[in-house]
């Protein structure tokens, strides 16, 4: 625990340099790390793709030429997301979260059989933001938004066991941040709190018991909100830290053909916590006070904890084929184990000791909510996802390399549990890129990725989510 605490300050500093809020692609993973890989569809398991090896397969560090390499990159994710209410009004809301920028850094060194380095990368995440007047605000009059991001500081190493056989691994320090401004209608709140319902989730705890007594006394719920948000584009209000690791291998079967494989462990993150959270229930108190009290807000301040949020394990295999010196073709198959970490989205809210959390003077004995808890669970039940990446690179001249690729992974979210604030439904990307070698030491690489439009509809509430993306990455590399 002392180690984790001592690392919180440097993590905050790193997060200021490396925004970890990004958008969903392969579920919540990016479709490609580094423009050399992204331009080729996200392929990266069996060939030298620079410091992106720290995110892809650390064993590929052993394929780089001897010496040192520094990479400096920036990327933009440009999601286009909307939500449509299909059952009654047909109202459409467009997310204003359309641009997320993320730098990345990497340094590698290889001498003989040994390679090592350090990398700083955004892992992935998702984010949306809708106006206070949209139907997703549930009449609360406040905007709704999510920003979830995960970043990694990675320490990789590779070693050539014998000619053509390279193993590698990494230790990853991981941090995650989340902002959430989520509203739900009275009917949705009732579904969580009523044991006979629980179609989309469940809620329990002393706060639910107290509100249940209020409801029995005639108190209706118009809407409810969860709010924790720091308005910082680089870090989330609720933060957690932890560790993960990777192992990998590359088998260079001939000068023209290589196979690669890697396993990325599930993270061991602490709970995401914030002491500056608010839960608000808007009540119809007509039964208590008579006409004119149809909308009485009951705001509670306190601490929120997102319980056991983790990033999933991944298993990947890949091949790279060089039929001629100028041409590289690659194929990767990845299995991302979302089901193990995305069964539920679970939060615990504890009301603090503020006097404003005591409603005794309003509702009488039994309505002092200080110290009371709300445990909320939204069902997710994501499915494991298989991603196929296919691409290649062609050296047109000694200075210019062109890349093209395709990336496909089925939407892992069951329609029944799709939440418009967490629409990680993107499936198909078409990618391309170009690299320019200015000298033996310096090069610039650029990649563009188009996420084709994908739609899915929640089968319970009829909300249709639609998204597409246009993403790019730019990198300068220096070798010495």
Q: Which tens digit of pLDDT belongs to each residue from 71-106?
A: 999 999 999 999 999 999 999 999 998 888 888 999
Residue 366: per-residue pLDDT: 79
How far does CA 258 lie from the centroid of its chain?
31
Whole-number Å distance between alpha carbons of 11 and 368: 38
Closest Cα to residue 170, out of 124, 112, 123? Answer: 123
Residue 400: per-residue pLDDT: 98
Q: Are 119 and 152 in contact (CB under 8 A)?
A: yes
Whole-number Å distance between alpha carbons of 229 and 232: 8
Higher-confidence residue of 368 and 216: namely 368
Please give the helix or strand (H or E) that residue 183 lies within, else none.
strand 165-185
Closest Cα to residue 62, out of 28, 104, 111, 22? Answer: 111
Contacts of 419 (CB under 8 A, 6+ apart): 378, 458
Residue 24 lies in a domain: yes
Banded pLDDT at 127 (limits 50, 70, 90) = confident
pLDDT beyond 50 at 14: no
Residue 359: per-residue pLDDT: 87
Whole-number Å distance between alpha carbons of 337 and 345: 16
Q: How far is CA 245 from CA 3, 115, 157, 169, 476, in A?
A: 17, 17, 12, 7, 27
Query: Looking at 113-127, 324-338, 436-450, which range is the least confident one?
Result: 113-127
Query: Looking at 171-175, 272-276, 287-291, 418-422, which range is the least confident one?
Result: 287-291
Residue 371 lies in a domain: no
pLDDT beyond 60 at 444: yes
Query: Looking at 40-44, 142-146, 288-292, which range is the least confident one?
Result: 288-292
Averaged pLDDT for residues 37-58? 97
Structural domain of residue 456, as residue ranges?
Answer: 2-180+226-271+305-338+385-411+427-479
Residue 408: beta bridge partners? 388, 428
Higher-confidence residue of 432 and 208: namely 432
pLDDT beyond 90 at 181: yes
Residue 375 lies in a domain: no
Banded pLDDT at 479 (limits 50, 70, 90) = very high
pLDDT beyond 70 at 217: no
Mean pLDDT over the full length of the chain: 91
Residue 8: per-residue pLDDT: 37
pLDDT beyond 50 at 455: yes
Residue 215 lies in a domain: no
Other Cβ atoms less than 10 A from the Cβ of 324: the count is 9
Averaged pLDDT for residues 194-223? 79
Tokens of 229: 């948000």
Helix (H, G, I), strand (E, B) or coil at 323: strand
Higher-confidence residue of 366 and 187: namely 187
Please give the helix or strand (H or E) that residue 172 lies within, else none.
strand 165-185
Residue 291: per-residue pLDDT: 81
Residue 357 lies in a domain: no
Tokens of 431: 């990618």
Closest Cα to residue 367, out of 295, 300, 284, 287? Answer: 300
Residue 294: per-residue pLDDT: 82
At 390-404, the pLDDT tens digits run 999 999 999 999 999
pLDDT beyond 80 at 352: yes
Residue 15: per-residue pLDDT: 37
Give the DSSP letter string of 368-406: B-TT-EEEEEEE--PPPEEEEEEEEEEESSSSEEEEEEE
Residue 218: per-residue pLDDT: 53
pLDDT beyond 90 at 249: yes
Closest Cα to residue 226, out of 88, 345, 391, 115? Answer: 345
Helix (H, G, I), strand (E, B) or coil at 339: helix
Dump strand ranges (E) for 209-326. Answer: 220-228, 238-254, 257-264, 268-269, 272-284, 296-306, 314-324
Averaged pLDDT for residues 429-436? 98
Q: How many domains does the chain have?
A: 1
Residue 287 lies in a domain: no
Q: Are 150 and 125 in contact (CB under 8 A)?
A: yes
Please give the helix or strand (H or E) that residue 121 lies within, else none.
strand 114-130
Phi and psi dihedrals of 186, rounded to 5? -60, -35
Residue 263: per-residue pLDDT: 98
Residue 362: per-residue pLDDT: 77
pTM score, whole prediction = 0.92
pLDDT beyond 80 at 234: no
CATH number, domain with residue 49: 2.40.160.60
pLDDT beyond 60 at 125: yes
pLDDT beyond 80 at 271: yes
Residue 215: per-residue pLDDT: 56
pLDDT beyond 70 at 216: no
At 220-232, the pLDDT tens digits run 788 999 999 987 7
Residue 267: per-residue pLDDT: 98
pLDDT beyond 60 at 475: yes
Please give the helix or strand (H or E) that residue 186 lies within, else none.
helix 186-193
Other Cβ atoms less than 10 A from the Cβ of 12: the count is 13
Residue 269: per-residue pLDDT: 98
At 326-351, the pLDDT tens digits run 999 999 999 999 999 999 999 999 99
Averaged pLDDT for residues 28-33? 94
Query: Looking at 133-147, 230-244, 256-270, which range is the least confident one?
Result: 230-244
Residue 74 lies in a domain: yes
High-pLDDT (> 90) share of the chain, %: 78
Residue 78: beta bridge partners? 470
Residue 443: per-residue pLDDT: 98
pLDDT beyond 90 at 20: no
Whole-number Å distance between alpha carbons of 19 and 15: 6
Residue 311 lies in a domain: yes
Residue 209: per-residue pLDDT: 84
């Amino acid at each position: 625990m002392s180690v984790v605490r001592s690392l919180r300050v440097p993590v905050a500093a790193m997060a200021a340099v490396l925004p970890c809020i990004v958008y969903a692609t392969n579920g919540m993973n990016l479709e490609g790390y580094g423009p050399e890989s992204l331009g080729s569809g996200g392929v990266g398991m069996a060939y030298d793709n620079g410091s992106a090896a720290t995110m892809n397969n650390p064993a590929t560090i052993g394929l780089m030429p001897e010496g040192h390499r520094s990479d400096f990159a920036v990327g933009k994710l440009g999601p286009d997301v909307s939500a449509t209410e299909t059952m009654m009004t047909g109202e459409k809301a467009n997310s204003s979260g359309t641009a997320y920028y993320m730098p990345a850094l990497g340094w590698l060194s290889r001498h003989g059989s040994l390679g090592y380095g350090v990398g700083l990368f955004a892992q992935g995440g998702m984010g949306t933001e809708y106006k206070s007047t949209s139907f997703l605000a549930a009449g609360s009059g406040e905007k709704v938004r999510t920003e979830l991001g995960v970043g990694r500081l990675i320490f990789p190493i590779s070693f050539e066991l014998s000619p053509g056989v390279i193993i590698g691994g990494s230790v990853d320090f991981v941090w995650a941040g989340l902002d959430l401004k989520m509203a739900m209608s009275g009917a949705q709140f009732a579904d969580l709190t009523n044991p006979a319902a629980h179609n989309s989730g469940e809620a329990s705890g002393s706060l639910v018991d107290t509100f249940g007594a209020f409801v029995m006394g005639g108190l209706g719920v118009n809407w409810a909100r969860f709010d924790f948000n720091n308005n910082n584009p680089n870090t989330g209000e609720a933060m957690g830290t932890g560790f993960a690791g990777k192992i990998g291998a590359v088998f260079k079967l001939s000068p023209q053909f290589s196979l690669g494989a890697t396993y990325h462990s599930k993270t061991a993150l602490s709970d995401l916590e914030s002491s500056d959270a608010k839960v608000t229930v808007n009540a119809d108190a007509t039964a208590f006070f008579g006409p004119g009290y149809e909308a009485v807000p009951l705001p509670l301040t306190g601490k929120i904890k997102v319980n056991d949020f983790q990033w999933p394990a991944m298993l990947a295999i890949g091949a790279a084929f060089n039929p001629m010196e100028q041409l590289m073709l690659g194929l990767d198959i990845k299995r991302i184990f979302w089901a193990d970490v995305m069964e539920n989205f679970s939060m615990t809210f504890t009301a603090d000791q503020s006097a404003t959390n005591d409603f005794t003077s309003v509702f009488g004995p039994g309505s002092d909510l200080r110290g009371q808890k709300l445990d909320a669970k939204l069902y997710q039940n994501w499915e494991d996802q298989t991603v196929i990446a296919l691409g290649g690179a062609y050296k047109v001249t000694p200075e210019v390399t062109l890349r093209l690729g395709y990336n496909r992974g089925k939407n892992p979210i069951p329609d029944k549990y799709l939440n418009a604030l967490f629409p990680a439904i993107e499936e198909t990307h078409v990618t391309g890129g170009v690299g320019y070698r200015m000298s033996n030491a310096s090069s610039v690489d650029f990649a563009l990725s188009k996420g084709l439009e994908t739609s899915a509809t929640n089968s319970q509430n009829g909300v249709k989510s639609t998204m597409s993306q246009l993403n790019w990455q730019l990198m300068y590399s220096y070798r010495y």
